[in-house]
Amino acid sequence: MASNVTDHSRRQFLQFLAASPVCGALGGVSFAHAQGQAVATPADAIDIFDLEATANSNIPVAHWGYLATGVNDDSTLRANRTAFEKYYARSLRLRDRGSVDTSVEILGTKWPTPIICAPVGSQKAFHADGEIAVARAAKARNHLQILSTVTSTSIEEVANARQDPLWFQLYTMGGWPGIRSRLRRAEAVGCPVVVLTVDLSGGTDARHTLWREIRKDTRDCSVCHEGNGVAARTKPMLVGGDGPETSLTWELLDRLKQETSMKVFVKGIVTAEDAELCLLHGADGIIVSNHGGRGDDSGRGAIDSLAEVASAVRGRTTLLMDSGIRRGNDIFKALALGADAIMVGRPYIWGLGAFGQAGVDRALEILTEELKIAMSSFGTPSVGDIGLTSIGRV
């Protein structure tokens, strides 16, 4: 109740401020481009960017660099945000706005929102509870969670905390012995889907923001990053395979389909040509993603890639999207362009770094509430009402 009162009071104050002549005398303050501010409690966070600012003050500088980095000068990372500005919502009036239904169905399972927790590695670098805190928040709010190969907590522990099926994201380190080991462990805990990530073929050495932030960190990081047994301590899903990393080819996808009983999604598709090849090779789903701007230096925003891929796929398979989503309006635009659901990474990790499980919960709450407001404002009471006619392009 106290939080609702606070939110109501805040809205009243902002409405008063917006109408006040004082605003014109503030000398360059731009509310449209306001930056987040660190907050004392999760409830104090007005938007995702307040959680970002709070997490930035908590997370060690090198770890923050790992989370914040793009490739080279971060042009793709920036494009992921600015590309959303090319699209605008077409607001429909005189529609019944009595209730908004954000639920979606993915592979026969109904979820209360289209917001999925994307795979993000090394989550204990951002909070001591790491993936367990995320699993508990995802359980409490009933969000689908996808676990990274480079998780800092084993899939068995995360599945136990989530108490509902996870999806598992797959890298090819350790060759086929490593791949098989991870597939068997994912199958054993009941994962219905494995997500093959294909967009990190060469970009990771060019993460200049990360390298600059590492130079600022004065801690002794050798305990985590050097010496015998590092994988067992910090990357438990990398234990069990010592072969060379397998090349990312369409033959790999064919073999993976034969190796596992799980459905196989391909993450990192950004062109119509590759989307068609995914369908040709039997992929069960496609995830449009440029790894949050961390995978290559294309300079293209993922929302533009979604528009291209969706026009090629035409509803023939499950289509997800990530990279750059920060607002409920962003989610609305992605759904309008053809995504069946969306994935967020940095936003819930900012919540994790800010306040642990409670911060993850708040991040997911903010995005859900913003999506509800967008759907109500634009006259689309259900996700099924959102389509290409719901948006336009500048």
Helix and strand element counts for the chain (H, E): 16, 12
Closest by CA to 281, choosing from 315, 310, 254, 247, is 254
Instruction: Name the β-bridge partners of 365.
Output: none
Half-sphere exposure (Cβ direction) of 76: Cα atoms closer than 13 Å: 23
371: its two tokens: 């999506």
Phi, psi of 267 (to 5 degrees): -110, 130
- In the annotation, is 291 catalytic? yes
| 142, two tokens | 């009933």
How far apart are alpha carbons 229 and 50 in whole angstroms?
A: 37
Q: Are strands 167-170 and 146-147 parallel, antiparallel or unpaired?
A: parallel
C-alpha radius of gyration, the chain, whole number? 21
CB 268 within 8 A of CB 195: no
Residue of 63, 127, 143, 291 marked active site:
291
Angstrom CA distances, 310 to 110, 132, 154, 193, 291, stand at: 22, 34, 34, 21, 18
Length of the chain: 394
Structure tokens at 270: 């950004």
Q: How many CB atoms lie within 10 A of CB 144?
A: 25
Query: CA–CA separation, 41 vs 38, rounded Å?
Result: 9
- Rounded to 5 degrees, φ, ψ at 210 are -60, -50
Residues belonging to the active site:
291
